[in-house]
């Protein structure tokens, strides 16, 4: 440090070095304000250079990455970064990121889309950094519109329906899956036999079979998710019934759907179909979206334009219409806009809606309804979402990390399986983050307790009101 130049000298060197060039940075506003602040202390004038922010750019065109941190994006594009968080390495990686982002945009998004985004960035009245970047892109695309390669559709979002056709004998017993030498021990390289998991799975299976409720208390590491998912799938397959798994949080719901069920799909011979179901306000309404876009062409507020900048590409790519998959969109910050475009039961025309054939909610509902053929069965699913079985509720609560002092005040009722003729096995995942309350005691042991109930054909975890779509 002794030989290091003084801050004034270093800043002067930097300012001469950048001249009038465009400054590129990841969340560049922070660095610029830092530089300008210290430069002002030495009597300097704030930099007037244009800047391009790779974080802001990625939020517009990459709504499906888990977040927009430099490390995440670098990994996404496979950019090498040795010595992360060191100034030189981060700066080089950011430059590389800008190049990859621009290539990604030009190869996947046509001129029409980018021109619309340009319009939005103007309406958003942000500083002109994003506008100037999109302007350059659009200018380039206009120039090469006829001669350049045509953009190919980019990667789309994950589907919210999962189907497994089965690949072996579906009459697989619980012991054969969870036992020391069972299916899991062959399929999981680091499988550790857990007596608690096997015991829990047996209890769940037995509760399904005997049609009674069960509460299980089990600590971390027991392998609870598989211990209820496997018997639930087996039950649904055997009875040709539908099972509702209601979780306490959306995180757990997504973990079950995107991590646990694909693993089961890869190893279980049992066929099943699963859908990820949330309250309808989580889904964008096709009709209201169209209306909002028409509004946009007539002029919307900067706040609305900012929100659309982070919705537009996601809406192009989404399969499910579920906004929680959009990591660019801040639903709290833009709640007013989201309320304008989300599906709303009071404003929904249902099957009479001209957009029904493209509607995310209708499509998901159709998937769930076709899991069982009769409309009665479909209603039963909703009913179970509303009036839950307490079966296994504690397991989910433990996984959701809730304090032990609350117990869902769910009524115990479930439909009969009689009369079902469907040959489809199905699993729906619903989630409601609001809970009732009661009491419960912590334990790291598996502790089942049985509650008799006349019929339990549908399994619902912590289901409360307003989960159904």
Residues near ligand SF4 (CB under 6 A): 285-287, 343, 348-350, 353, 355-356, 359, 361-362
In 159-273, where does DSSP find H-type helix?
174-178, 183-187, 195-210, 224-239, 250-255, 261-267
Q: How many CB atoms lie within 10 A of CB 29?
A: 14
Residue (319 or 451) nearer to ligand SF4, CB: 319
Residue (91 or 353) nearer to ligand SF4, CB: 353
Residue (117 or 362) nearer to ligand SF4, CB: 362
With 0-12 / 13-18 / 19 or more C-beta atoms within 10 angstroms meaning exposed / middle / buried, residue 255 is: middle
Residue (355 or 450) nearer to ligand SF4, CB: 355
Whole-angstrom Cα distance, residue 26 to residue 68? 9
Nearest-approach distance from CB 422 to ligand SF4, in angstroms:
25
Which tokens is 144 given? 């090469």
Residue (226 or 360) nearer to ligand SF4, CB: 360
Whole-angstrom Cα distance, residue 409 to residue 436? 5
Nearest-approach distance from CB 404 to ligand SF4, in angstroms:
39
Whole-angstrom Cα distance, residue 6 to residue 3? 9
Whole-angstrom Cα distance, residue 362 to residue 353? 10
Residue (187 or 355) nearer to ligand SF4, CB: 355
Nearest-approach distance from CB 356 to ligand SF4, in angstroms:
5
Nearest-approach distance from CB 359 to ligand SF4, in angstroms:
3
Q: What is the DSSP letter of 274?
A: E
Residue (18 or 347) nearer to ligand SF4, CB: 347
Nearest-approach distance from CB 350 to ligand SF4, in angstroms:
6
Instruction: Identify whether the C-beta of residue 111 lies closer than 8 Å to the C-beta of residue 145.
Output: yes
Nearest-approach distance from CB 294 to ligand SF4, in angstroms:
15
Instruction: Identify whether the C-beta of residue 368 lies closer than 8 Å to the C-beta of residue 216.
Output: no
Nearest-approach distance from CB 333 to ligand SF4, in angstroms:
23
With 0-12 / 13-18 / 19 or more C-beta atoms within 10 angstroms meaning exposed / middle / buried, residue 20 is: exposed
């Amino acid at each position: 440090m002794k030989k290091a130049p003084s801050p004034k000298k270093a800043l002067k060197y930097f300012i001469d070095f950048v001249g009038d060039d465009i400054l590129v940075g990841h969340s560049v506003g922070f660095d610029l304000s830092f530089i300008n602040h210290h430069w002002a202390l030495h009597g300097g004038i704030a930099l007037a250079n244009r800047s391009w922010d790779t974080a802001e750019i990625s939020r517009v065109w990459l709504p499906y990455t888990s977040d927009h941190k430099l490390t995440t994006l670098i990994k996404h594009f496979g950019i090498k970064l040795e010595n992360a968080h060191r100034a030189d390495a981060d700066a080089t990686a950011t430059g590389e990121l800008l190049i990859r982002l621009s290539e990604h945009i030009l190869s996947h998004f046509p001129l029409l889309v980018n021109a619309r985004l340009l319009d939005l960035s103007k309406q958003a009245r942000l500083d002109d950094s994003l506008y100037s970047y999109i302007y350059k892109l659009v200018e380039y695309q206009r120039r090469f519109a006829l001669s350049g390669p045509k953009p190919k559709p980019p990667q789309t979002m994950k589907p919210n329906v999962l189907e497994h056709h089965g690949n072996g004998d579906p009459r697989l017993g619980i012991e054969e899956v969870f036992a020391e030498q069972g299916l899991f021990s062959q399929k999981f390289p680091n499988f550790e036999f857990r007596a608690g998991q096997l015991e829990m799975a047996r209890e769940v299976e037995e509760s399904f079979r005997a049609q009674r409720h069960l509460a299980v208390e089990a600590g971390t590491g027991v392998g609870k998710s598989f211990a209820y998912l496997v018997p639930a799938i087996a039950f649904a397959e055997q009875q040709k019934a539908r099972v509702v798994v209601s979780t306490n949080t959306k995180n757990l719901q997504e973990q079950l759907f995107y991590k646990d069920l694909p693993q089961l799909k890869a190893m279980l011979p049992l066929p099943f179909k699963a859908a990820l179901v949330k309250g309808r306000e989580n889904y964008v309404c096709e009709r209201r979206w169209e209306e909002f876009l028409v509004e946009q062409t007539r002029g919307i507020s900067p706040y609305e334009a900012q929100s659309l900048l982070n919705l537009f590409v996601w809406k192009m790519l989404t399969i499910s219409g579920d906004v929680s998959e959009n990591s660019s969109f801040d639903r709290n910050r833009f709640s007013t806009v989201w309320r304008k475009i989300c599906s709303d039961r009071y404003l929904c025309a249902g099957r009479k809606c001209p957009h029904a054939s493209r509607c995310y909610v209708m499509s998901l509902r159709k998937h769930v309804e076709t899991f069982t053929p009769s409309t009665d069965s479909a209603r039963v699913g909703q009913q179970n979402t509303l009036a839950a079985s307490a079966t296994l509720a504690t397991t989910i609560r433990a996984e959701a990390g809730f304090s032990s002092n609350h117990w869902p005040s769910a009524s115990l009722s479930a439909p009969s399986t009689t009369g079902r003729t469907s040959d489809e096995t199905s699993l729906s995942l619903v989630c409601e983050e609001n809970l009732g309350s009661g009491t419960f005691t912590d334990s790291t042991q598996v502790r089942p307790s049985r509650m008799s109930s006349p019929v339990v054909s549908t399994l619902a975890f912590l289901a409360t009101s307003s989960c159904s779509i």
